[in-house]
A = this chain, B = another copy of it.
Amino acid sequence: MKAASNNADYKFRVETCFLPGQYPLYAQDMGIVVVIDILRATSAMVTAFDCGVKSIIPVSTIEEARQYIGRPGYLAAAERNGEVVEGFPFGNSPLAFKQADLKGKTVVMTTTNGTKAINLARDARKLVIGSFLNITALTDWLVKQDDNILLLCSGWKDKFNLEDSVFAGAVMEKLLDSGKFGLEEDSSIAAKYLYQTAKENYLSILKAAPRRKRLEQLKLVDDVKFCLTPDQSTAIPELREGELVLMTP
C-alpha cells in the first residue's frame, strides 16, 4: 500500500468531490471539472459519441426531455431509479445506445444523478465527461492541462457511491504519479485509497455492494460489466454552450 504521499512541488491540484451537493465547497479555483456517473450516465454518453451522435443536451427534468420525443433529429432519453421512464425510447443504458442508430442525432438526456451533476457544474471553465470507457484518453488529456482539476462524482440519489469514487481514485493516481498535480482534500486521499483497494478486481468489489444487487435484479449485469471495462473509447465529451460535444484534439 502506497503512503498517502503528496507531491511537495506540485503546480496544480487534483481533487475528488464525492457528491454533487458538495460541489460548491470544492469548486473554488477549479478550472476543469470531470463529471463522473459510472453506472450509467457518463458511460452512456461516451458510448453515444462512439455511435456518432452530434451532441447531447443534458436536462434536469423529465418534462424538459419529454418535449423532444419524436422530434426529427433528436432522441429523448430519460432514466429514474435505474429504469427507462415510461414513454421514452431510451434510458441511460450504453448497450441500448449501441444498438440504436444515433448517427448525426442530438440526444436529450435526463438521469437520476449524472445530468444533475453536469448542470450543477455547468459554469466551470471546462467540463468534461469521465467513465472507465474513456479513462486512458481522458487522463492522458488531463495530465497535459495547466489547471486545477475537480473530479465530481454524481453519487446515488445524493448519497456517496462506490463506483464513481473508485474511478475518481484511478484518475487521481495517474495524475499524482505525473508529479505535476497534488491534493489538499481528505476526500481525494480516500478516493485514492479506495482505488488502490479495488483496482485488482472492480467487478467483485462493486458487485458485492447491495445497490449493485438491485441492478442485477433489473437485469443490468451486461450493462454494469460494460461500464466497468476500461479503454473501450477515446472520446472525450465536453460541454459547450449547454451541449455536450466531442472534444476535437
A224 smallest CB distance to B (angstroms): 14
Contact among B1, B165, B193, B209 for A4, CB-based, below 8 A: B209
Interfacial chain B residues near A157, Cβ < 8 Å: 25
Whether A176 is near chain B, meaning CB under 8 Å from some CB there, is: no
Least Cβ–Cβ distance between A26 and chain B, in angstroms: 8
Whether B205 and A25, one on each chain, are in contact in the complex, defined by CB atoms closer than 8 angstroms, is no
* Closest chain B residue, CB of each to CB of A160: B187
Assess whether B208 is in contact with A18, with CB atoms less than 8 Å apart: no
Which chain B residues border A194 with CB–CB below 8 Å?
Answer: 190, 193-194
How many chain A residues touch B (CB < 8 A): the figure is: 37
Q: Are A3 and B208 in contact (CB under 8 A)?
A: yes
Contact with A25, one of B3, B4, B159 (Cβ below 8 angstroms): B159
Quick one: which of A1-59 are within 8 Å of B by CB?
A: 1, 3-6, 18-19, 21-22, 25-26
A189 to B204, CA, bound (A): 13
Complex Cα gap A245–B121 (Å): 45
With A21-B21, A194-B190 as given contacts, are A208 and B5 in contact (CB-CB < 8 Å)? yes
Known contacts A190-B194, A194-B190, A210-B184; A205 and B4 CB within 8 A of each other: yes
- Of A21, A25, A157, A159, the most chain B CB neighbours within 10 A belong to A159
Some 6 contacts from A to B, beta carbons below 8 A apart, are A4-B208, A6-B210, A159-B186, A160-B187, A184-B210, A193-B198
